[in-house]
Structure formats: C-alpha cells, structure tokens
Structure 1
C-alpha cells in the first residue's frame, strides 16, 4: 500500500510539473515587457511567493527591485526556448543601444504555473569578448527556426550533445558530436560561417563547468545551460542548437567581474578561422 501511495505521489508531481507552451510564452512576454519598460509590477505579480527561490543576476541573489529589470532597455532582438517538461524558459535579449548596450540570457523557472526563480546572465562592455555590433549582426544570420517534427532530436540527445561540449573543457578525451558546419558566437566574436566552419577550435582545457541549469526545447532542437565557468566560477550561459544529433550553433555569454576576464589585457590573442570582427572591434 505504501509503495502504491509513493508511486501515486510521484506520478502526481510529474504531471503537475508539465506546463503548456502558451503559458510559458505569456510569462516570457511579461518578462520582456518589464525589461523594455523598466516597470516590474506586472511581472512580479506572476511570482509564486509560496515557493519563491529568488532573483539572480550573475549568480548573485538580489532584490528584484534593484536589478537590471528596473532599467528600461532598448531591446532590439529576443529569442526564447520553452521547456514544457521542466516548466522553464530561456530568453536571449539583445539591446543594441550605443548608450547602454546589453546581451542578457534569462532562465525563468515555474512552480504552480507561476514564476518561482529568475536567473540571468547580464553582460555589457567589459565582459568576455563583448561586442554588441557583432552579436546583434550574427544572430540575424542564423536559422533557429522550428525543426520539422519528424526530424526532431529527443531531449536526451539534445542534452547529451550539450554536456559533451561542456565536459570537453575539463576532459579532452570526451567525444563531441561536432556538426559540419558548426559556428560559435562568443560575446560578439564569430567563427567561420562557411560550409567548413567548426566549433572544435579555441576550446581550453582544465576548465570545470559546474552547477549546470538546463532549459531544453525539442521544437527548436535547442538547450541553454547556465553554469559556473572554471575555477573562478564565472557566471556563464552556453546555448546550443542541435540538428540531427550534432552541434550546429553555440552562443556564449560570460560575466567575469573584471575586463575580459583579465585575459586580453595580458597577452595577444590569435583567433583561427574568425571572420567579420577583428580585434580592434573588441570592447575592452
């Protein structure tokens, strides 16, 4: 009897964890309205106070009234993932405004069909390879449209591909399902967009990527992973587009707290197979 009761509770928990796409879309629309206007009252009304986990910016728990949401940004581009299984969303926000440029990655987590955690990576000039011109341009050149249902990868395949890429940073023996082409957008720096483009360059070693939080959307073959990057635990987002089980696009944004993570000031960098942006365009 006890076993049956536990099974029933587990089944009920699983059932209530599912959300509908329209519900998630509506919540993201409210988030974007708040970020555009700087007015957060309507967005806060969607919070589930009974299970509230917090508002986070760059891995720091803040009062939502003190965060970037209170600054109206000129949002010029946004794109979202909707995870109806785990009741989470991810939104890439670009504010291509010379006066106040930002690239933000935000995950919303839900309970009882209301938001119970807001988790954002907020990047701006001085963050890793930040270049608003490059980021804004290249996102419009990519195809993140819905994948036909018969060609969609499973959640497991999508997550496994993302984990393989992230695991490679700390284990060079990991086999990564590289696509060809594959191209990485890193802060504003873009890889080779041609037919021979590869994401298998510029991957460091000895860098653990921990505290991973996933948003998976099979419709778009995409997953976002917020994480703590490296030994310094820099707040980071890696978003992946998976096609046919292989990596097609990678978007990264990293907040370091010091200009360009202290790297470009110390030494000259050389980027193989990089087009479209030269080092003089990188905002240091």
Structure 2
C-alpha cells in the first residue's frame, strides 16, 4: 500500500512539474528581456541563453548572424523599458542610446518556444539610427522619459487583448483604409512620438487611406498589464521600411504612440 501511494505521489509530482514548466510567466519574460539589455550593454550576445537549435536573429526584417549584428557592439543605454506577453510567450523591449558616434533607438521582440523562458528562440530587432525617419535620439529620449508607464494595477481597468490588437491593426491600416483612423479610441491628451516628431493630441493630422500597399509582416507583443501593444512590421505603404509601432491604452483610450522606422536596410 505504501509503495502504491509513493508511486501515485510520484506521478502527481511529475504532472505538477510538467504543468509548471509549461507556464510562460511574466517574471521569466522580463528576466530574459533584462538579459538582452545586459548583453547589449556589454556587446556580448554569447552571454544569452539561446536555444540550441533553430535560433533566429532578425535585424530590420532580415535574418542575420547575431555575432555580426547590433548585439555584438556595446552601447551605453540611456533608457530601456520592457513589456511581456504571456499568451505568445514573447516580450518587447525599447531602448535608446543617445550618445556616441552612432546613436540608436531600438525596438526588439524576444520569443520563446514551448512556453520556456529559460532559453530564447528568436530575437527580432528594429534599429533606427542617424538618417532614418525623423531620427533624433536625444529628442526621443526626452519625450519618452517624461511618460508614465506605471502598471495598470486594477484588472478591471486594463484593456482587453482583443482591443489592444484592434488598436495596433487599426493604426497600421490608416494608410490603406479611409475609416481606420476614426475607429481608434483616441485620448484627448494622447501623445505621439514618431522618431523624434511629437504630436499632441494623437488624433491630429492622421492619414485616411490613399496607399494600395498594406503594412504587412506584422508580429505582435500584447501586454494587458501595461495596456500596450507593439507591432513590428514592414511599412509597405511608404516604402517597405522596417518598422515598430507601440501603442498604450489607458481607460479605454490611446495615451501613447511610439514609432521606430528604418528608411534604409
């Protein structure tokens, strides 16, 4: 009887262990994002826990060698911020380096296979620098440092995943769909930072269609706790440019919009 009970508890423990291992946690995602920032600061991608097989590094929508990419050069990071998507087991990190001979504003999505945040399956980076759309890292830094990205602690106040995705898609659809801009719940004090170009309120001077080319190749990180969605894409409406659009929704209204757009690859 004792041996039978021991076997039963061993099976239960095994099931619990497997269930726990299958959970993609916010803490795990943010820890991996922090390790990415540490690797970028040191310029040592070898410090990252990359999956042994089928790892992918993509920079400005092109699959690249991580040892020859942005991560192989150390940068002094003036500001960084990360969000987490436990459904897709992915994170989004924005960082700014405003000093030195080559400043950068970067948006990176990190993805994990099988809900296992202990290893990284993909690093997907959009990296803008001097000469890119409205680029001025010091101005961008000033605008974004002034923003409030406190967590939305009340579950009832958080935007739904569905709303966040609709807002992200609606924004990118404005160039092809004349009705898209009016479908977005703009806040009265919404701030839009496109490169270093600042607009307040966000709902001013928006496109209402006109392009025949949709902005495609969309990859999402949706974080209800921070009320944000980031979409990496190809901004084909203007020129097949690598692009990141991050949007934050507070109390059901768009509060912040950030764009990182690379005009050359």
Residue matched to 1:33: 38
Residue matched to 1:55: 57
Structure-to-structure mapping, 1:94-113, within 5 angstroms: 94-112=96-114, 113=116
Residue matched to 2:131: 126
Offset, 1:254: 0.5
Structure-to-structure mapping, 1:199-238, within 5 angstroms: 199-203=203-207, 205=209, 206=211, 208-231=214-237, 232-238=239-245
Offset, 1:49: 2.6
Deviations 1:115-136 (A, max 9, x none): 1111000110000110112101
Residue matched to 2:146: 141
TM-score (norm 1): 0.79
Contact 1:17/1:85, CA 8 A, preserved across alignment: no
Contact 1:178/1:200, CA 8 A, preserved across alignment: no
Distance in 1 separating the partners of 2:215 and 2:135: 20
Contact 2:227/2:249, CA 8 A, preserved across alignment: yes
Runs of 4+ in 1 over 6 A off after TM superposition: 14-17
Tell me, which stretches of 5 or more residues in structure 1 are unaligned?
1-13, 259-284
Greater shift in the superposed pair: 27-36 or 143-152: 143-152
Offset, 1:151: 0.8
Deviations 1:87-106 (A, max 9, x none): 00000010011422110000
Contact 1:102/1:124, CA 8 A, preserved across alignment: yes
* CA 226–16 in structure 1, closer or farther in 2 if over 3 Å, else same: farther
Greater shift in the superposed pair: 230-239 or 56-65: 230-239
Contact 2:177/2:208, CA 8 A, preserved across alignment: no
Distance in 2 separating the partners of 1:237 and 1:104: 9
Query: SS of the counterpart of 1:160?
Result: helix
TM-score (norm 2): 0.85
Alignment of 1:249 with 2:256, yes or no, is yes
Contact 1:73/1:100, CA 8 A, preserved across alignment: no
Distance in 1 separating the partners of 2:221 and 2:90: 6
Contact 1:236/1:255, CA 8 A, preserved across alignment: yes
Q: 1:89 aligns with which of 82, 88, 91?
A: 91
Higher-Rg structure is 2
Contact 1:161/1:245, CA 8 A, preserved across alignment: no
Distance in 2 separating the partners of 1:187 and 1:222: 18
Contact 2:102/2:130, CA 8 A, preserved across alignment: no
Alignment size in residue pairs: 238
Distance in 2 separating the partners of 1:116 and 1:240: 25
Offset, 1:223: 0.7
Residue matched to 2:246: 239
Query: SS of the counterpart of 1:73?
Result: coil
Query: SS of the counterpart of 1:220?
Result: coil
Distance in 1 separating the partners of 2:75 and 2:131: 18
Contact 2:30/2:83, CA 8 A, preserved across alignment: no
Query: SS of the counterpart of 1:115?
Result: coil
Offset, 1:29: 1.2
Query: SS of the counterpart of 2:264?
Result: coil
Query: SS of the counterpart of 1:158?
Result: helix
Contact 2:151/2:226, CA 8 A, preserved across alignment: yes
Offset, 1:76: 0.5
